[in-house]
């Protein structure tokens, strides 16, 4: 009687057993696909955090030399570097640090250059400038009412990493006119992606004006 019932409904049984085996896997897959994005890392700092080991942990993508005797090295974290290599826009989580140096001078006041015409670094500028892109900034993280999309700015003492005492308002105002995503060194980023190595850029303008 049972055998007969089983024989008659064999296909139904097989389907039921297969369904029982597959359903939990399917359910797990669906629920994992629907999971909310991971919560942002809780923040213990106000504003942009100083990326203490940027020289080791970040990748240098450019050096920018200007006729006023300044040399700036620009470093970006892995999130930003990966995006740049894929020619994507800089994602949330990108951190960029720029440090500067004055070129060494000879006794007659001209800048010392190496065989490539590159300035030889002298004293560092007293600050390291940092930009960070996050989605979870709160009003308390800004010292200026100006905004640059999801970017925030920080300035840190070159030697100690402590907050450097300068207004961040100018950062927002100037970067507001940057060529792309409030970022000035986009061309250097693209050149870096193409070359696969940091690029040396001889900017023709002085100060903090955009290079031509």
Residues 136-165 that bind ligand HEC (CB under 6 A): 153-155
168 near ligand HEC (CB under 6 A):
yes
Query: Judging by beta carbons within 10 Å of its beta carbon (0-12, 13-18, 19+), is residue 66 exposed, middle or buried?
Result: buried
60 near ligand HEC (CB under 6 A):
no
Size of the site for ligand HEC (CB under 6 A): 25
Query: Judging by beta carbons within 10 Å of its beta carbon (0-12, 13-18, 19+), is residue 20 exposed, middle or buried?
Result: exposed
Paired residues of 99 in beta bridges? 73, 128
Helix locations, 45-204, DSSP H: 54-57, 78-85, 169-175, 186-195
Give the nearer residue to ligand HEC in terms of CB position, either 86 or 94: 94
Question: Which position has the token pair 């100037």?
Answer: 174
CB 107 within 8 A of CB 65: no
Residues 106-135 that bind ligand HEC (CB under 6 A): 129-131
Position among 63, 65, 150, 183 found at the interface with ligand HEC (CB under 6 A): 183
Position among 99, 171, 192, 199 found at the interface with ligand HEC (CB under 6 A): 171
CB 158 within 8 A of CB 128: yes
174 near ligand HEC (CB under 6 A):
yes
- Rounded CA-CA distance 104/56 in Å is 25
103 near ligand HEC (CB under 6 A):
no
Residues 17-46 that bind ligand HEC (CB under 6 A): none
Q: C-beta of 92: minimal distance to ligand HEC in Å?
A: 16
Q: Which residues make up the interface to ligand HEC (CB under 6 A)?
A: 64, 72, 74, 96, 98, 129-131, 153-155, 166, 168, 170-171, 174-175, 178, 183-185, 203, 208, 210-211
């Amino acid at each position: 009687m049972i055998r007969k019932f089983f024989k008659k409904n064999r296909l139904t049984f097989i389907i039921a057993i297969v369904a029982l085996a597959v359903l939990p896997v399917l359910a797990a897959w669906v629920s994992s696909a629907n999971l909310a994005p991971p919560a942002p890392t809780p923040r213990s700092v106000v504003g942009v955090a100083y990326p203490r080991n940027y020289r080791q942990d970040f990748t240098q993508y450019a050096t920018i030399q200007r006729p006023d005797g300044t040399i700036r090295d620009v470093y970006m974290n892995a999130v930003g570097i990966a995006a740049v290599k894929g020619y994507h826009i800089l994602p949330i989580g990108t951190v960029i640090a720029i440090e500067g140096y004055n070129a060494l001078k000879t006794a007659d006041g001209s800048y010392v250059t190496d065989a490539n015409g590159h300035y030889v670094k002298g004293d560092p500028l007293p600050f390291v400038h940092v930009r960070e892109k996050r989605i979870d900034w709160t009003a308390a993280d800004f010292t200026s009412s100006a905004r640059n999309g999801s970017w925030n700015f920080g300035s840190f003492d070159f030697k100690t990493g402590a907050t450097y005492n300068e207004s961040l308002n100018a950062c927002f105002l100037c970067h507001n006119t940057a060529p792309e995503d409030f970022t000035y060194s986009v061309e250097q980023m693209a050149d870096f992606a193409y070359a696969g190595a940091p690029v040396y850029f001889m900017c023709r303008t002085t100060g903090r004006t955009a290079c031509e």
